[in-house]
Structure 1
Amino acid sequence: MKEMKSLEDVKNFKVDEDRLFFSATHEEIKKGATTDIYFIKTMEILKYMGLENTDVVAEVFPRKAGIMCGVEEVINLLKDKNVEIYALPEGERFSPKETVMRIKGPYGEFGIFETALLGILAQSSGWATAARECREAAGDKVMICFGARHVHPAVAPVMERAAVIGGASNASCILAAKLLNREPSGTVPHAAMLIAGDTVSVAKAYDEIMPPDSPRIILVDTFKDEVEESLAVAEALGRALEGVRLDTPSERGGVTKELVYEVRKRLDQKGYDYVKIFVSGGLTPERIRELSEAGADAFGVGSYISGASPIDMTMDIKVVEGRPVAKRGRIPGIIENPRLKKFK
């Protein structure tokens, strides 16, 4: 598949009838198949006018504050192009309208990729920003991203990687963790308990067959009162038990600060003060703070991160052949930002 440069290329592009998923492949993204059609029309016009290789400087800025993420993918998108790229490093905080990326080179080298690169930065930065909010709420406590089930599997690893860039301790999605040179984090879902019919038997089996580096953290809200199951599991596993996880469904009121407090006190009274409390289920920064104060030690965050809105990014041409330019309402010429680092 050749890179799309013309309307004829678009017309000749065919989708395989046996395609399994609707998500774009790496090759399709690299060849420009995910761009907006008007960028192809722009290239047609510029080529007709003999201007397709005009040297320009383009700058990207966000509409609101957030955490930078997606830079590595943009670099990979344009790594074979004759351009220079400057950007804020991933994980850095940015302000509204701050220049977060600058691209220098012939417009024809990168113009058709505006849609893709803005989408990469907007979505990844949105996820990273939500994760940072959760990290700040959790303080030094463990906060793991559990959001893969809320997004299309094609972008689940992108989302969870962004969450870790933003501050999550780890990711549960296997591919996301591997992309970060980590091992994924996770325990056992309710399915195991429901099929086995008993929480304690699953806890014992987990302890017997899982490798030593797999934390013994057991769900305790499947069949009985959370306090009752916590104490039963603690008695069965003893010092091997690292923690219990509360994921009480909304139908029963969800995980409340009162529940966390009671579980903590009951465990302590029975001598299980070493057992930590992991909470999950509809967590937000506000709930994380509340549950942390009640005694929760770790948090699994899903939809707050996965459902974060993208941070709108805009790319403007600011210099053409060395001449400062701008559309109405914007200031011609580059907007200096000493925090930008040269990546390419």
Structure 2
Amino acid sequence: MNIKPLDKLKDIASYKHIDGRLFSATHEEILEGWTTDIYFLKTRDVLRSAGLLDTQVVAEVFTRQPGIFAGSEEVLNLFRKLPDPPQIESLAEGESFEAKEVLMRFTGSYESFGLYETVLLGMLASSTGWATAARECVLAAEGRSVLCFGARHVHPAIAPVMERAAKIAGCSAMSCILAAKLCGEEPKGTVPHAAILMVGDTVKLAKLYDAQVPAEEARIVLVDTFRDEAEETMRVAEALGDRLSGIRLDTPGERGGVTPDLVREIRWRLDLAGFPKVQIIATGGLTPERIKLMNEAGADVYGVGSYITGGARRDMTMDLKMVDGKPLAKRGRLPGIIPNPKLKRVL
């Protein structure tokens, strides 16, 4: 990839609009600096005119809320593609942190990273927010699997980033194809209600699905499309027998949603009929609080989307703390490097 980062304010005049393009930034545009705030490009011109662009500095990144750290690997991938990157120290992805704890530290010339402040803060803010929300669900599940089904709730350009953050936080699998592949895994998921509606019967769909998918893939069937969920569960279980791995509940809010009582009844009926190994997968608007209730009722697996994608981002701040070897900071900040033994050299 031939990267030529923006260097001067006048460089933005070279932008050529392409009619009909998607509005999301390409990898090249991000790496070249087109998604940065304009004032960082102006800063380059100002500092260059004063002969200060190559001044050696130390910058630290923090946020005012605790959370689960994620996004640093993407930041590193950004700087690995540049010819003269700064030295970078970082907290490990997936690690918890406290408010105002130093999460990353950049040491080098201001020229080596200043243009990308907007970009790297955005990468960390979003991923850390998603990871924090996902970890809440994972902890609430108390060892049960949590699948990330959030791709439909975010712009497709960032769906893989979001699901990767959820994976870092402990989610067992992802439904987004690219997200899973980028993590070296296979995507997980069954078929939507649309397939059952078009086939016309849940059991008929279950048999078609059983005949179509590879033998090693789990047979999981939605049971809330046409009839009572408990009734459909038993019909599918009797039709597939030992080949049925699980049933998925996604009852819409118009019918009361997926409730602990529904889960409890289906678990009871499955056990009574000799299907104790058939898992119950609960999905649809789940939160940590609802997951805890479902645990007690007998659910085995959770598919979570909107709670993870709606996780409050962690507003990241980058401050210069050393300038030309001298401790320095804006008012209200502590000048000089703030020690954090959890940071490790990563670049």
Give the TM-score, by structure 1 length: 0.98
- Match for 1:33: what amino acid? W
Q: Any residues of structure 2 matched to 1:1-344 within 5 Å, and which? A: 2-19=4-21, 21-79=22-80, 80=82, 81-344=84-347
Q: Which amino acid aligns with 1:3?
A: P
Percent sequence identity over aligned pairs = 59
Q: In structure 2, the residue corresponding to 1:119 is in which secondary structure?
A: helix
Query: Per-residue CA shift, 1:46-67, capped at 9, x if unaligned?
Result: 0111101100000000110011
Following superposition, the deviation at residue 45 of structure 1 comes to 0.6
Offset from partner CA, 1:148-198 (integer Å, 9 cap, x none):
000010000000010000110010000000011000010111011000000
Q: How far, CA to CA, are the matches of 2:264 and 2:54 in structure 1?
A: 65
Q: After superposition, what is the alpha-carbon deviation per residue over 1:100-158, rounded to whole angstroms, capped at 9, x for unaligned? A: 00000000111010000000000000001111000000111111000000001000000
Number of matched residues? Answer: 343
* TM-score with structure 2 setting the length: 0.97
Alignment partners' CA distance in 1, 2:9 and 2:108: 23
Deviations 1:246-286 (A, max 9, x none): 10000000000010001111111111112110000000000
Which runs of 4 or more aligned residues in structure 1 lie more than 4 Å from their structure 2 counterparts after TM superposition? none
The amino acid across from 1:137 in the alignment is A
SS at match of 2:113: helix
What stretches of structure 2 of length at least 5 have no aligned partner?
none
Q: Distance in 2 between matches of 1:238 and 1:88?
A: 48
Q: Distance in 2 between matches of 1:339 and 1:57?
A: 17
Query: Whole-Å Cα distance in 1 between the matches of residues 255 and 20 of structure 2?
Result: 45
What CA distance in whole angstroms lies between the structure 1 residues aligned with 2:140 and 2:4?
Answer: 47
Tell me the distance in 1 between the aligned counterparts of 2:329 and 2:216.
56
Secondary structure of residue in 1 paired with 2:61: strand
Q: Which amino acid aligns with 1:223?
A: F
SS at match of 2:146: strand
Quote the offset at 1:82 in angstroms: 3.1
User: Where does the alignment leave 5 or more consecutive residues of structure 1 unmatched?
Assistant: none
